[in-house]
Each structure stands twice: as C-alpha cells, then as structure tokens.
Amino acid sequence: MQNFRDFACGPDPFGRMWQVQLKWLQTAISIRHSDTVDVKFVLRSEGEASQKTIALPHLALRQTAERLGVTMSDAWCARLAVAHLRFLIESGEDMDKDLVTLDAAQVTGYAEDLGRSASARQHVAH
C-alpha cells in the first residue's frame, strides 16, 4: 500500500466500502500512559462515520524492526496499523471497539507481510 493516509477499504461483511483517513499517529505514553504507538483513523461509509485507534506495542515494534532489519518509522507503523484495520473492516471483527491493541505475533506477521510486498514490488520493477 502506497497511500496510508487516505484510501478505500472493503467490502465489509455487509458489502460496504469504507473511505479511511489517517487522523494521527503518536506515542500513547503521552495520551493514555501506554507503551504503544497509537494510530487513529476516521472511517466513513454511506453516511456512517466512526473512529478506530490501532495500538502497536512499542517493544514488539522495536524487536520486529531489529529482527527484520527495517527502520521503525512513522510510515512503517502506519502501514502496520492499516494492515490490521483492513482485517477488521473485511472480517467485521472488533468493529464495535474504538481501540484495538495488537499483540507481538500480529505486529510480526503484518511486518513480514509488508516486507514480502515490498520485495515483490522491487522485483517487478526491475
């Protein structure tokens, strides 16, 4: 995914497409005393709007970045959050929650998927 700031996602289990906009990304230590990077999105579909915050545990991010040899950047964190948000929308799971916290295995899985996607794009470009 190139644009993680404004994108369409879906369909959800009810067949709706959602327009998603990144609202902010920040460390949650300052807002809720949590050792996470929080990524907040605004979702809109057919006159309905909601907000979702995806919380990425800092330790899992740091360990995964080190293991995969990637830089832990805002863009990387946002893309991990988008991957989980896509899962939420398409599966309908946890759509009733405003705050969803990933576990270490989810962070690692999404990071590995992003790495494979980036490698595939580079391979096709050459």
Task: Convert the pLDDT of each residue in 6-62 to its tens digit.
Answer: 999 999 999 999 999 999 999 877 666 679 999 999 999 999 999 999 999 999 999
- Which residues form the domain of 105? 6-125
Residue 74 lies in a domain: yes
Quick check: pTM over 0.75? Answer: yes
Whether 107 is in a domain gets the answer yes
Task: Look at residue 1 and tell me if it is in a domain.
Answer: no
Structural domain includes residue 116: yes
User: Would you say residue 50 lies in a domain?
Assistant: yes
Q: What is the tally of structural domains in the chain?
A: 1
Residue 72 CB burial class (10 angstroms; 0-12, 13-18, ≥19): middle
